[in-house]
Copies of this chain bind each other. A is one copy, B any other.
Amino acid sequence: MQRKYISKAVINRLPRYYRYLGDLLEKDVVRISSKELSEKMKVTASQIRQDLNNFGGFGQQGYGYNVEYLHTEIGKILGLDKKYNIIIVGAGNLGQALANYSDFERRGFYVKCIFDINPRLVGLSIRGIDIKFIDEMEEFIKLNQVDIAALTLPKAKAPQVAADLANWGIKGIWNFAPTDLHLTEDIIVENVHLAESLMKLSYKLSEKQNPADK
Could you tell me if B199 and A107 are in contact, using CB atoms closer than 8 angstroms? yes
Determine the chain B residues whose CB is within 8 A of the CB of A179 once the complex forms: 19, 23
Which chain B residues border A196 with CB–CB below 8 Å? 15-16, 19
Contact between B201 and A148, CB atoms less than 8 A apart = yes
Q: In the complex, are the beta carbons of A188 and B174 less than 8 A apart?
A: no
Contacts of A190 on B, CB cut-off 8 Å?
197-198, 200-201, 204
Give A residues with C-beta under 8 Å from B: 1-6, 11-12, 14-16, 18-19, 23, 41-42, 77-80, 82, 84, 92-94, 96-98, 100-101, 103-104, 107-109, 147-148, 171-172, 174, 178-180, 182, 188, 190, 192-208, 210-214
From B2, B101, B188, contact of A201 by CB (8 A): B188
